[in-house]
C-alpha cells in the first residue's frame, strides 16, 4: 500500500508530503528457531520466497532458519513449537526453547514484522516427518545440517542471504561460545 505522509517534528515544523510504500500483513510478529546439535550443527531449510523470485529468479529458494508468523491468539513460544514441527518434524515443548536475545525488525523501512528468536538443542535421530501447513511455499522444501561456522561463512559469501537467519545464527554462535559448548 502506498501512503502519502508528512512528518511532524518536535519544533513544530513539517516535511513536505511524500509517498511511502508499506507492506501490511495480518500478523506483525514472527519467530525464527535455531535448532542445533551438541556437535555444533544447525538445521536450515530451503524455502521458496516469491518476492525474491520476482526480482531475482535464481534466488527463488533460500536457506533459512525455520520460521513463521505468529497467528492470532497464539503466543510466540507456541508458534515456535508449531513452526518447528511443521517445517522440520521436531516435536518440541515450550521449555525446550530458549530466547535468543531481543526481537528485531528485519526490514523496518517497509514492513513492521518483528522477529522473535529462539534456540533449541535437538537430537537429529529424534526428528519426525515435517507437517507442512499446506501452503505452496512449504511444498518440496529441503533440510540440511551445517556446522554453525560453515553456515556463518555462507552468510559472509552470500550463499545464505536471509537477515533473520544470519542474526539467529550469530546469536546462537555467541550463546554457544559463552556457554562453553561447540
pTM of the model: 0.91
In sequence order, which residues have a C-beta less than 8 Å from that of residue 96 and are 6 or more positions away? 120, 121
- The pLDDT of residue 70 is 97
Give bridge partners of residue 62 from the DSSP assignment.
47
Q: What is the pLDDT of residues 109-126, one digit of tens each?
A: 999 999 999 999 999 999
- The pLDDT of residue 151 is 97
Q: What is the pLDDT of residues 47-104, one digit of tens each?
A: 888 888 899 988 888 999 999 999 999 999 999 999 999 999 999 999 999 999 999 9
Amino acid at each position: 500500500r502506498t501512503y502519502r505522509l508528512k512528518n511532524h517534528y518536535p519544533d513544530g515544523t513539517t516535511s513536505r508530503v511524500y509517498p511511502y510504500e508499506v507492506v501490511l500483513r495480518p500478523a506483525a510478529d514472527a519467530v525464527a528457531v535455531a535448532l542445533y546439535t551438541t556437535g555444533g550443527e544447525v538445521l536450515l531449510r530451503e524455502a521458496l520466497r516469491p518476492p525474491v523470485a520476482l526480482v531475482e529468479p535464481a534466488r527463488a529458494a533460500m536457506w533459512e532458519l525455520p520460521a513463521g508468523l505468529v497467528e492470532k491468539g497464539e503466543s510466540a513460544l507456541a508458534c515456535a513449537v508449531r513452526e518447528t514441527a511443521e517445517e522440520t518434524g521436531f516435536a518440541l515443548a515450550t521449555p525446550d526453547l530458549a530466547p535468543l536475545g531481543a526481537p528485531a525488525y528485519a526490514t523496518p523501512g517497509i514492513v513492521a514484522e518483528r522477529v522473535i528468536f529462539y534456540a533449541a538443542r535437538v537430537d537429529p535421530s529424534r526428528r519426525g516427518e515435517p507437517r507442512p501447513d499446506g501452503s505452496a511455499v512449504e511444498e518440496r522444501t529441503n533440510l540440511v545440517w551445517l556446522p554453525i561456522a560453515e553456515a556463518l561463512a555462507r552468510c559472509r559469501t552470500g550463499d545464505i542471504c536471509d537477515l533473520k537467519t544470519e542474526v539467529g545464527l550469530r546469536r546462537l554462535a555467541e550463546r554457544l561460545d559463552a556457554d562453553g559448548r561447540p
